[in-house]
């Protein structure tokens, strides 16, 4: 895959930011700007305008962006996963919902998202003012319109992240040098969403399809359409309002219609975007830096490629625990995937062993060993899948963060169609089953029957999105827009205890599992089976006889420990400080409040 390097191409936009800062200060200091460029000169040709827009992309990535914080801190704790380790005023404070105003993991991403907004605002203002925008060659006009549309889409992505984490936020739509007052108040999120949805409608008409342009991570038509559908569902969903209540607006069906229509249109262009027939192959492509031939990935955050010198911590922070002495390099363990999530998958669902890893590699021998049930990790961005391998302690593995896939388009369509019609239509069922059929590849007969009533189908979609999008930064925000986050956290605590006790629907869970190595791989003891790939997850413990050569590892038994998270049992540490009517949003950090000098209203409960 051809990658764009945001860092190397953002010089012009950074220079402009410095220029505007000096211009803003000029009336006080009378210092002339050092740059020899003014705004029209910077936006004087297609090449410079392209560099400016690439500078907007730059703010998606990095440690404070989707390189790690927004992608791998903000989606947790949820009913799928939990941030590992004991609480602190950092990532674990975010995960446990102990959201202190001095937590840098809140303040730094907040600032980076607004840097993205500022850069996008500049491009959105200036590109249509360029002489070439109206009087250039057809090719120049076409490319400048694409750049303008990319900037609109990027601004929408930045604001979506701000709104779903902070709610009503200041929403400047012009560059800061044009604003009389930089400390503008909070905007109503519904109005902001409406503006962005209109922008995305404009953008999609100006963007090319992915097959019409060079292959890289730049936004194309499908990305803008899918983002518009997602944003419409957020606009039509529940959200924590300033009164401390989770509410949905009465006109929500208008936005479900937008989502349905965008997805339906995308589904008519299968030559541009469709499902990869193999779920595992999606992530093997990502970790091998290969082009996605089906276009299932519609929108991704480019990390600079597979050279190990990038802005992406996927595979280093998350994934299975890997020792630096191995051929794979150091990584993993930052996110624990919960036992109830592991057992949410059917035994033949191919997504489980892609999404969740139960092994670790802790020595230079490169031999895998077994993790306990409360220590399972993520799998989609695992470092040991990387091609080429990257041994040692390098932190930035180079993986792109996937924002939206075509599977999301299908399931958004199914959800919206069901809501709008009062029951699932044939088209909604077909879209739902297309995702499910891939998951059960080779065992389609075990998919089960799709529900046909509105509530049951909705419940099925909720569960299917749970299974399909594990560790893709989606689940917590889905639960929020459905007003289910508090409910599902409580249910998760109960389920973990049931798994621990092996009661109810979890009576089959083994207390211990027995395993040994077959070469570097793990072979499990499964009574009556000679298949070296068989697994013991779905039957009570039976010890091998003789025991010689087998290692016993705690499975359900591990959930009885009281030092897993914050020196508590796993279920007790999960989202430990979550408070309904407060924790659905982050607070504005103390430095931001101080800068506003009392003019910025804090979110409820903080």
Is residue 1 pLDDT above 90, yes or no? no
Nearest of 489, 510, 495, 497 to residue 577 by alpha carbon: 489
Token pair of 559 as six digits = 């959930």
Per-residue pLDDT band at 4 (split at 50, 70, 90): low
Residue 246: phi, psi to the nearest 5?
-80, 115
pLDDT confidence bin for 298, thresholds 50/70/90: very high
Coil, strand or helix at 517: strand
> Over pLDDT 90: what percentage of the chain?
89
pLDDT tops 50 at residue 14:
no
Q: Stretch 453-472: mean pLDDT, rounded?
A: 98
Distance CA 368, CA 322 (A): 9
Which range, of 13-17, 300-304, 386-390, 494-498, averages the lowest pLDDT?
Answer: 13-17
Say yes or no to pLDDT of 606 above 80.
yes
Mean pLDDT of 511-516: 98
**What would the two tokens of residue 349 be?**
């669902």
Q: Which two tokens stand for residue 131?
A: 């002489």
| pLDDT mean over 532-542 | 95
Encoded tokens for 462:
């909720």
28, pLDDT greater than 50: no
Can you give the pLDDT at residue 311? 80
Residue 411 sits at φ, ψ, to 5 deg, of -75, -30
- Other CB atoms within 10 Å distance of the CB of residue 549: 10
Average pLDDT of the chain to the nearest whole number: 93
Check residue 304 and give its pLDDT.
75
Q: What angle do CA 449, 453, 457 make, to 5 degrees?
A: 60
Backbone dihedral angles phi then psi of residue 330, each to the nearest 5 degrees: -80, 145
pLDDT of res. 42:
80
Kindly give, in sequence order, each residue whose CB lies less than 8 Å from that of residue 490, ignoring residues fewer than 6 positions away. Answer: none
pLDDT of 556 higher than 70:
yes
> How is 556-606 classified by DSSP, letter by letter?
GGGGG-S-SBTTB-HHHHTTTT--TTTTTSPPPPHHHHHHHTT-SPPPTT-
Helix 221-235 and helix 189-206, axial crossing angle in degrees, nearest 10: 160
Task: Indicate the SS3 state at residue 523.
Answer: strand
Q: What is the pLDDT of residues 186-221, one digit of tens each?
A: 999 999 999 999 999 999 999 999 999 999 999 999
Average pLDDT over residues 409-419: 99
Q: How many Cβ atoms from other residues are within 10 Å of residue 540's Cβ?
A: 14
CA dist 157 and 150 (Å) reads 11
Determine phi and psi for 551, rounding to 5 degrees: -110, 135
pLDDT class for 22, splitting at 50, 70, 90?
very low
As a whole number, mean pLDDT of residues 48-74 equals: 96
Q: Tell me the backbone φ, ψ of residue 430, rounded to 5 degrees.
A: -65, -40
Q: Between vectors from CA 341 to CA 339 and to CA 346, what angle results, nearest 5°?
A: 110
Residues 6+ away with beta carbon under 8 Å from 280: 350, 354
H or E segment at 82? strand 81-83
Q: What is the mean pLDDT of residues 315-323?
A: 96
Q: What is the pLDDT of residue 37?
A: 65
H/E stretch holding 513 reads: strand 512-518
Question: What is the band of 309 on the pLDDT scale with cuts at 50, 70, 90?
Answer: low
* Number of other CB atoms surrounding residue 182 within 10 Å: 12
At 349 the pLDDT is: 98
Q: What is the pLDDT of residues 122-132, one digit of tens each?
A: 999 999 999 99
Residue pLDDT, tens place only, 329-346: 999 999 999 999 999 999
566 vs 105: CA distance, rounded Å: 19
- Tell me what percent of the residues of the chain surpass a pLDDT of 70: 93
Say what the pLDDT of residue 184 is.
Answer: 95
Res. 31: pLDDT tops 70 = no
Identify whether the C-beta of residue 51 lies closer than 8 Å to the C-beta of residue 5.
no
Tokens of 323: 């020792």
The predicted pLDDT at position 71 comes to 97
Query: For the purposes of burial, counting CB atoms within 10 Å of the CB of 427, is it exposed (0-12), middle (13-18) or buried (19 or more)?
Result: middle
Identify the pLDDT of residue 463. Answer: 98
Cis previous bond, 388, omega within 30: yes
Residue 147 tokens read as 């750049």
Which pLDDT does position 38 carry in this prediction? 74
d(CA 228, CA 233): 9
């Amino acid at each position: 895959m051809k990658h764009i390097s945001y860092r190397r191409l953002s010089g012009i936009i950074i220079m402009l930011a410095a220029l505007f800062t000096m211009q803003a200060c000029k009336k006080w200091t009378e210092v002339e700007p050092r740059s020899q460029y003014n705004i029209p000169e910077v936006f004087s040709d297609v090449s410079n305008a392209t560099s400016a827009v690439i500078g907007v992309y730059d703010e998606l990535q990095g440690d404070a962006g989707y390189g790690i914080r927004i992608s791998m801190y903000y989606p947790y704790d949820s009913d799928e996963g939990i941030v590992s380790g004991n609480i602190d005023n950092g990532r674990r404070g975010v995960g446990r919902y102990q959201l202190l105003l001095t937590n840098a993991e809140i303040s730094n991403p907040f600032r980076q998202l607004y840097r993205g907004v500022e850069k996008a605002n500049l491009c959105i203002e200036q590109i249509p003012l360029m002489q070439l925008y109206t009087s250039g060659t057809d090719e120049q006009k076409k490319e400048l319109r694409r750049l303008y549309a990319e900037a609109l889409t990027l601004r929408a992505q930045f604001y979506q992240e701000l709104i779903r984490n902070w709610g009503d936020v200041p929403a400047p739509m012009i560059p800061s040098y044009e604003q009389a007052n930089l400390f503008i108040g909070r905007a109503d999120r519904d109005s902001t969403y409406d503006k962005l949805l209109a922008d995305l409608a404009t953008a999609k008409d100006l963007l090319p399809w992915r097959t019409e342009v060079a292959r890289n991570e730049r936004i194309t038509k499908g990305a803008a359409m899918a983002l518009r559908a997602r944003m419409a569902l957020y606009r039509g969903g529940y959200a924590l309002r300033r009164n401390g209540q989770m509410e949905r607006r009465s006109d929500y069906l208008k936005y479900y219609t937008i989502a349905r229509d965008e997805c339906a249109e995308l589904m008519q262009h299968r030559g541009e975007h469709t499902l990869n027939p193999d779920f595992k192959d999606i992530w093997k492509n990502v970790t091998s830096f290969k082009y996605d031939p089906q276009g299932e990935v519609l929108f991704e955050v480019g990390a600079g490629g597979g050279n190990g010198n990038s802005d992406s911590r996927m595979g280093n922070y998350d994934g299975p625990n890997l020792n630096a002495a191995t051929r794979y390099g150091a990584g993993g363990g930052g996110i624990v995937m919960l036992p109830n999530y592991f057992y949410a998958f059917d035994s033949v669902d191919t997504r489980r062993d892609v999404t969740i890893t139960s092994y670790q590699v802790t020595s230079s021998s490169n031999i895998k060993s077994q993790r306990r049930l409360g220590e399972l990790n993520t799998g989609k961005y695992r470092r040991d899948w990387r091609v080429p391998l990257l041994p040692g302690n390098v932190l930035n593995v180079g993986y792109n963060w996937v924002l939206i896939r075509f599977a999301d388009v299908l399931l958004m369509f199914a959800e919206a169609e069901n809501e709008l019609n009062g029951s699932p239509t044939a088209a909604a069922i077909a879209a739902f089953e297309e995702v499910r059929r891939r998951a059960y590849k080779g065992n389609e007969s075990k998919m089960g029957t799709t529900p046909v009533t509105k509530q049951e189908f909705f419940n099925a979609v909720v569960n299917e999105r749970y299974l399909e999008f594990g560790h893709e930064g989606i689940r917590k925000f889905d639960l929020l827009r459905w007003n289910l986050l508090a409910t599902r956290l409580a249910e998760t605590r109960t389920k973990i205890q049931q798994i621990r006790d092996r009661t109810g629907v979890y009576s089959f869970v083994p207390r211990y599992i027995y395993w040994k190595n077959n070469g570097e791989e793990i072979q499990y003891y499964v009574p009556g089976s000679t298949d070296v790939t068989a697994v013991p997850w779905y039957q009570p413990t039976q010890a091998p006889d003789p025991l010689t050569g087998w290692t016993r590892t705690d499975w359900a038994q591990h959930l009885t420990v009281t030092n897993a998270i914050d020196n508590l049992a796993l279920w007790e540490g999960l989202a430990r400080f979550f408070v309904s009517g407060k924790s659905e949003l982050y607070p504005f950090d103390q430095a931001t409040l101080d800068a506003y000098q009392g003019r910025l209203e804090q979110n409820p409960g903080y």
